[in-house]
Structure 1
Amino acid sequence: MLQHWLLDTDSFAVPESLCTFQQSIPLEWVQQAFELTNKSSIRRRKLPAKLVVWLVVAMGLFRDRSIAEVVSKLDLSVQNAAGDTVAPSAISQARQRLTYEPLAKLFGITAQHWALQEDSHDTWHGLNLFSVDGTLFRTADTDELATHFGRIKHSATRSTVYPVARLCALSSLRSRLIPDVVFGPSTEGEVTYAKQLVGKVPNHSLTIFDRCYLSAELLVNWQRAQSGSHWMVPLKSNTKYNILHRYSDHDFFSGNGCICACP
């Protein structure tokens, strides 16, 4: 499901210009991200940090263009009195100075505002609806990425050609916004990454898990993190269980192969 949503975004959600996207991200959010990561700078550069943020966002939106072209076409650079603009070599240096931290904070800020705006009034029986799902991404074939992310082995002698990163996302079932996401080496399973999302859903919510997330540790902690946090997960056909107690007819559905928990 998550993979299909991401493919839809890649195919249909590319804006005609970055201005369309900038209108939804106030400059105050960008400044807040810098302040939370202590990345504010008073030094004037041809490509200052705030513009590098927009550069990274634009790189994700316009993946069919080179980085230098994105800088030029979107007029992200600053000129001095002589009219000199940023050199191509300075672009990668500016990205390295920025690091990932302000962008991670900005992602969290935008997700919090957008999800609240889109989902607060679109509920089911008073519950906000979410899902947890994972997918895989191929990375560039370098030794460094292969060491960090690893390759998925199909057999003792066969594995994926490219290094593979595993991603696990908490998604809104109503708006398809992603309030939070974790990713890392493909050698770790989806349940391991899903545990890092415990406590990320708001109170009074229902989270749908795929059958691969049938983990007592994950689901019990998910329920305990919020007093009104509910979950539902399909049962595997070979799952063995004992019903200890039924609090209501809604606690367990044996007919459709799903189990749910309500605190």
Structure 2
Amino acid sequence: MPRPGQVKSSGGRLSDRIALGVLTRVFPPELVDEVVAGCGRTEQRSRLLPARVVVYFVLAMCLFSGQGYEEVARLLTQGLERVRRWDKPWRVPTTAAIGRARRRLGPEPLKVLFDRVCRPVATPETTGAWYRGWRLVAVDGTVFDVPDTDANGVFFGRPGSGRGQQRSAYPQVRVAALVECGTHAVFAAATGPLSVHEQQLIPGLLDRLEPGMLLMADRGITGFGLWQAASATGADLLWHVRKNIVLPVLESFDDGSYLSEIVASGDRDRRAPARVRVIEYRLEGRGEDIVYRLITTMCDPGQAPAAELAALYHQRWEIENTLDEIKTHQGGRQLVLRSQYPDGVEQEVYGFLLVHHALRDVMHHAASEAGLDPDRISFTRTLNAARRHVTGQAALSPLTTDPGTPSHSP
């Protein structure tokens, strides 16, 4: 029985109640524990930073980008500490202890969690996510600056210098991603050194494609082999190609498009040509017309008229907006990742992608309830609401049996 003036302990460890506020709906503790166990990261002894807490910490540091390690740890626990007493109080770990815990965890649990959680989220009723029954998706790549350490510099490399310019001060990690255009949900990703072109990373994403998807890509994504591999998934393709590619006219259609074929390059490559349909159109630029050429696997003009596909292609830019949300809004302007070593960089990249996917899932849920296009909901406002929710999560412990994990939207 507590003495007068004391608050009775609620029992248990505070670390068992650490969660991510509203985002815990997407990353419930039982799923995190399952992933941790499957990756062989379950602790053999009690630690100040058990593996589940470290997973939530990595996600939190990607939600509160720019905050120091110890401050992120305080933000994760301050709501719980404010209203409860614990049998086993939890002191804020030092920066060094958090760094060691991240290294013990490694990138694998974050990658597995990404594979388990991150899927396209649009339903048939989602506005702006579909074209005639096709789910609109896009592929592209980007780079993140990483700290200038010997380990990062050797593994990732730096961008080459231009005329009269020095090499970049920061090494860079390359990331390729598949994004659902209508919701901005990233549902496949791969990382690599800067020397690995995004075209070399994209084949690792293709197993996430399926029939009923329409994959759009910019002219930087080229290659006969990549086209064949992507179309073999059953997804349809709509890609922008360079104007120097030879595309003979095999059959002209009334909508202005024509049937053609693309061939593998190289004298020794004897693979059969791939049949494509070509759509050419002009966009008025600043004092000049810009000619676009698209190729598609949809060879029937009645199934997908040329004018509609030309108008549709601008949806590919949604992946650019998605990457900007992650790098500029979530990460902050002039983002440099904080990890000092390559495994930590990979872990951190997947942390950013996981948090972004959770935010976009929350936004889609809110849009669906309101009957809105997800584009009508502000990403920045949702991000700020999620941050506030983490610091006020005391009544939303993932181990309580009353309201359960939070499911309401900001």
| Alignment TM-score, normalising by the size of structure 2 | 0.54
3-state SS of paired residue (1:179) = strand
Between the aligned partners of 2:236 and 2:249, the Cα distance in structure 1 is: 18
Deviates more, 1:248-257 or 1:186-195: 248-257
Q: Label 1:222 to 1:121 Cα distance change in 2 as closer, same or farther (>3 A).
A: farther
1:228-259 Cα distance to aligned partner (Å, 9 max, x none) = 31111112122212355789979523323111
Deviates more, 1:71-80 or 1:51-60: 71-80
Between the aligned partners of 2:55 and 2:239, the Cα distance in structure 1 is: 38
Q: In 1, are the aligned partners of 2:250 and 2:258 still within 8 Å (CA)?
A: no
How far is the alpha carbon of 1:83 from its aligned partner?
Answer: 4.1
- After superposition, residues 1-263 of structure 1 pair within 5 angstroms as 18-75=20-77, 83=89, 85-88=91-94, 89-112=96-119, 115=120, 117-119=121-123, 121-122=125-126, 123-155=130-162, 158-224=166-232, 226=233, 228-243=234-249, 252-256=277-281, 257-262=293-298
Aligned Cα root-mean-square deviation (Å): 2.9
Unaligned runs of 5+ in 1: 1-16
Between the aligned partners of 2:141 and 2:208, the Cα distance in structure 1 is: 16
Q: In 1, are the aligned partners of 2:35 and 2:112 still within 8 Å (CA)?
A: yes
Amino acid at match of 1:187: S
Q: In 1, are the aligned partners of 2:74 and 2:92 still within 8 Å (CA)?
A: no
Q: In 1, are the aligned partners of 2:73 and 2:92 still within 8 Å (CA)?
A: no
Between the aligned partners of 1:91 and 1:182, the Cα distance in structure 2 is: 25
Amino acid at match of 2:209: V
Q: In 2, are the aligned partners of 1:46 and 1:80 still within 8 Å (CA)?
A: no
1:4 corresponds to which residue? none
How far is the alpha carbon of 1:42 from its aligned partner?
Answer: 5.0
- How many residue pairs align between the two structures? 242
Q: In 1, are the aligned partners of 2:139 and 2:215 still within 8 Å (CA)?
A: yes
Q: Which has the higher contact order (CA 8 A, sep 6+)?
A: 2
| Alignment TM-score, normalising by the size of structure 1 | 0.81
Which protein has the larger Cα radius of gyration, Structure 1 or Structure 2? Answer: 2
Between the aligned partners of 2:32 and 2:97, the Cα distance in structure 1 is: 21
3-state SS of paired residue (1:238) = coil
1:146-194 Cα distance to aligned partner (Å, 9 max, x none) = 1111111134874222111111111111110100111111112121111
3-state SS of paired residue (2:208) = coil
Between the aligned partners of 2:88 and 2:176, the Cα distance in structure 1 is: 48
Q: Label 1:69 to 1:124 Cα distance change in 2 as closer, same or farther (>3 A).
A: same
Q: Label 1:83 to 1:173 Cα distance change in 2 as closer, same or farther (>3 A).
A: closer
Identity %: 26
Unaligned runs of 5+ in 2: 1-18, 260-275, 282-292, 300-410
